[in-house]
Amino acid sequence: MPFPIILSSPSGGGKTTIAHKLLAMRADVGYSVSCTTRPPRQGEIDGRDYHFLSLEKFKRGNAAREFAESAEVHGHLYGTLRAEVERVLSSGRHVIMDIDVQGAKQFARAFPDSVVIFILPPSAEVLVERLKARGTEDPKSLIRRFKSAKAELKAIDLYPYVIVNDEIDSAVAAVSSIIEAEGLKRSRNGALDARIEELMDGIQRAIDHYSARK
């Protein structure tokens, strides 16, 4: 049974790169394209990176309960469409999402079989450099980004899995191993009951056979 996988980290943690690499590597994983009210950055494509919505359209979608979760991040609204998640799951693929910590909490409530993974940057220096590269050097907006990174780190207790992203390929491999292990959980394998019953029946037949020959 396919399940949702949530990657969270302070921005600059590298979760988007991990998600993209994982998608390129595994045909059994699909991506849920989020909605946002922030304007597209250079190179971003509507419908591929995000569904870029006006504030009105976003609010209408929210009122119509189209979102499995939504949150305000750095002054813009972001949300995961239920239909987008269902589209990927019903195609038989796990669905990977890159959502902030507030959204992850709401999403896991809506989809309790979700696997939630926290990605840690390798060091404060790397995080600071990545966040600086994201926008202006204006100290006020830098401080805002640093403060929200600290707030996001505080939410780590909600996450059973934590990966330190000090080497991208190892981090991707770690996410992939978590998917493998989660897929083997008994609770995710409804077909196991029938298989166990079949095994029991087979063993009983052997018992009956050898008992008759005693």
Interface ranges with ligand 5GP (CB under 6 A)? 11, 34, 38, 69, 71, 73, 78-80, 98-100, 102-103
Q: Which is nearer to ligand 5GP, 46 or 201 (CB)?
A: 46
- The SS3 of residue 56 is helix
Shortest Å distance, C-beta 48 to ligand 5GP: 13
Shortest Å distance, C-beta 154 to ligand 5GP: 14
| Helix or strand (DSSP H, E) at 70 | strand 67-73
Q: Which is nearer to ligand 5GP, 16 or 176 (CB)?
A: 16
Shortest Å distance, C-beta 146 to ligand 5GP: 14
Cα–Cα distance for residue pair 104/36, rounded to 1 Å? 16
Q: Which is nearer to ligand 5GP, 39 or 139 (CB)?
A: 39
Shortest-Cβ-distance residue relative to ligand 5GP? 103
* DSSP-derived secondary structure for 130-198: HHHHTS---HHHHHHHHHHHHHHHGGGGG-SEEEE-SSHHHHHHHHHHHHHHHHT-GGG-TTHHHHHHH
Cα–Cα distance for residue pair 84/33, rounded to 1 Å? 7
Shortest Å distance, C-beta 134 to ligand 5GP: 7
Q: Which is nearer to ligand 5GP, 53 or 179 (CB)?
A: 53
Q: Which is nearer to ligand 5GP, 69 or 196 (CB)?
A: 69
Rounded to 10 deg, the angle between the 124-133 and 139-153 helix axes is: 130
Rounded to 10 deg, the angle between the 168-183 and 15-25 helix axes is: 60
Shortest Å distance, C-beta 119 to ligand 5GP: 10
Cα–Cα distance for residue pair 207/163, rounded to 1 Å? 48
